[in-house]
Amino acid sequence: MAQPSGLPVDVPREQLFVSDQILRYNVVGNYNFWVQGPQNPTRHAMFLETLWVRDQETGELINDVASSPPQYNDDYTQMSVDLRDDIYWSDGVQFTADDLVYTVQTLMDSPELGANGWHTQLNQFVESVEKTGDHSVTFTLSEPNARFHSMFEARWNGVYMMPKHVFETVEDLATFTNNPPVVLGSYIPVQADPNGFWELYQRREDWERSPAGVQTGNAGPENILSIFYGDSTRKAIAMSRGELDVYFDADFEAFQTTLDTTSTARSWYQEFPWAYPNEVSSRQFVFNMEGDPIYANKDVRWALALALDIVELQTEYIGGVVKVTPLPVPPTTELMRLYHDPLEEWLVNLEIDLGEGEMYKPYDPTVPDRIAEWAAGQGYEVPGTPREVFGTGWWKFDPEAAEALLLKNGFTRDGSGQWLKPDGQPWVLSLQSPPDENDAFRMSNAAADMWSDFGIQVDLQGPERAVWDQNHIEGQFQVSTPWYSFALASGDAWPEIRGWHPEFYVPVGEDYRSKGGGNFQRINDPRIGEMLDAMQAVEPGSEENFELVREYLKYWTEEMYFITTISFKKFVTWDERYWTGFPTAESPDYMPLYWFQGGKYAFQSLRPAE
């Protein structure tokens, strides 16, 4: 087949897999992912390894550089790890326990290696790390921790292994660019656009000595090109031209265009609702608690929730292809069983105070049924019960109740019906959402329209991802639309939410990551700390732990710290013109989330099309 003219590299098309890069890299030529700055989506799937990977589709714990699951002593003060003896760095040096011990000790000793909070977390929990054999290591912990291994278990990512024989010769690891990198993964970056729009990776000759090579037994493409095309329309056009083999997501209209113009393209399902539904994340509107003080008032946050019509948001703005949830946990089958179903009665009976003694029940359990009615009206066949396909109930669309909450707190309307804050100033709500996250941006457009109709002036901003990230770091936002995971696929929540412990709180104006937490909303709530401490003390898979998480979810939801709206779905869509073997609902061997660290298995499983 001829090389499509739009690709920037001189590689035969049948030897090249082209993936959506998702965003433009703002740090180019620096592969030191242990410092703040270089962006890791897709890249860490190509060449960075950790001890274990948790597949989001199957729930399987995959041994990455470890050869078996973690082994704890009885009181969880020691963790032993056995390592593979059949994987090698790309320069031919065998991976051993020396690399793991060096990685941990270097991160602990080097505050300048602050990416992902690993420096802080390792210093919090590790008393010592010791090589007990060429391929075995024992961690001695400073306090009991049955979840210590989660730092090395990649949902999104886990502690990246360092090549000791390379890094120990570097004088200053903080400024080291690690270019070209010596890697454990199957692919090595060989060429990059200086403006960050694309990057080319070449498969190692000894790919079978990489973790993904060992796991799959398949060579995968000889070359992988990641490329940032921009918005959904450009992605659909590129795929129709044969210049893109997989995109991470697109808006509903662009996805339909892809189906219409590219006969060899498909998403997870072949029919409605098409998209991949099982990524363990949710979308929400979050508030800067130290920006405009009105957002520190939970009545204001509740008012904003009740001014949203979730059915219209889910159908008219998102296309009806995503699940609804009022809890910051997506309604996957397992998480629904653990959390949404047991909390349904609590949600139905939840009351909030509208003022003057009027108590109000805000939950509407009929939401999935109304979405199903919409879907039937569109001619779609709903493949299951409304609750299975569309998620749970949500908050009532009730502008009158929202108004009562605002009036209770000193808000007023001007002569044209626009809201004034308690200080008499016009209420201008600044909402930031990066356009490259399609559902988040669509959700923001829905909220901007609905809140404007309610009488709030909304300033909707769509900054590039790098700017949006920086605004979070320093607290330069009012309302934003990040994605979060409040629970692992197993249901355990502590590893995902520990960053909201008050010990990690950092005030606005400082880097929220500096203490190892993830709390860019600047929530500083001692009750949350107490709940997290209680979770840490119990076994992850116990009913006691799940009940503690339920109590946490109740508290978080009643406080309306987030307005959680929908779970993740991805129109992760691939064209089988050149390559086959990408995971599907019919063949769910691995998750299709190729931009995760565990996405390596989807890449490695690809085979040339006949």
- 524-572: per-residue pLDDT in tens? 999 999 999 999 989 999 999 999 999 999 999 999 999 999 998 989 9
Q: Which CATH superfamily is domain 282-567 in?
A: Dipeptide-binding Protein; Domain 3 (3.10.105.10)
- When pLDDT is cut at 50, 70 and 90, the band that residue 1 belongs to is very low
Q: Of all residues in the chain, what percent carry a pLDDT higher than 70?
A: 99
**What is the average pLDDT score of the chain?**
95
Q: Of all residues in the chain, what percent carry a pLDDT higher than 90?
A: 91
Indicate where the chain has its CATH 3.90.76.10 domain(s): 50-164
Q: From CA 54, how far away is CA 347, in angstroms rounded?
A: 31
* H runs (alpha helix) in 126-186: 164-167
For residue 3, pLDDT over 80 is answered with: no
Domain 50-164 has CATH 3.90.76.10: yes
Region 13-30+177-275+572-608: CATH code: 3.40.190.10
Share of the chain residues as helix, strand and coil, in percent rounded to the nearest 5: 35, 20, 50
Query: What residues contact 485, with CB distance under 8 A and at least 6 apart?
Result: 155, 156, 280, 281, 282, 496
Indicate where the chain has its CATH 3.40.190.10 domain(s): 13-30+177-275+572-608
Q: Which two tokens stand for residue 447?
A: 């909220």
Quick: pLDDT tens for 359-369: 999 999 999 99
The pLDDT score that the predictor gives to residue 10 is 95
The pLDDT score that the predictor gives to residue 42 is 93
Find, among 155, 211, 145, 150, the residue nearest to 183 by Cα. Answer: 211
- Give the CA-trace dihedral at 58, 55, 594, 94, to 10 degrees: -130
Secondary structure class of 548 (helix, strand, coil)? helix
Q: From CA 330, how far away is CA 283, in angstroms rounded?
A: 9
Quick: pLDDT tens for 168-197: 999 999 999 999 999 999 999 999 999 999
The pLDDT score that the predictor gives to residue 4 is 60
Q: Which two tokens stand for residue 497?
A: 């939410």
Indicate where the chain has its CATH 3.10.105.10 domain(s): 282-567
Quick: pLDDT tens for 451-469: 999 999 999 999 988 899 9
For residue 59, pLDDT over 80 is answered with: no
Q: Which two tokens stand for residue 325?
A: 């949830």
342 torsion bin: left (phi>0), alpha (psi -120 to 50), beta (else): alpha
Distances in whole angstroms, Cα of residue 351 to Cα of each of 5, 330, 550, 558:
61, 23, 17, 9
The pLDDT score that the predictor gives to residue 5 is 65
The model's pTM is 0.86
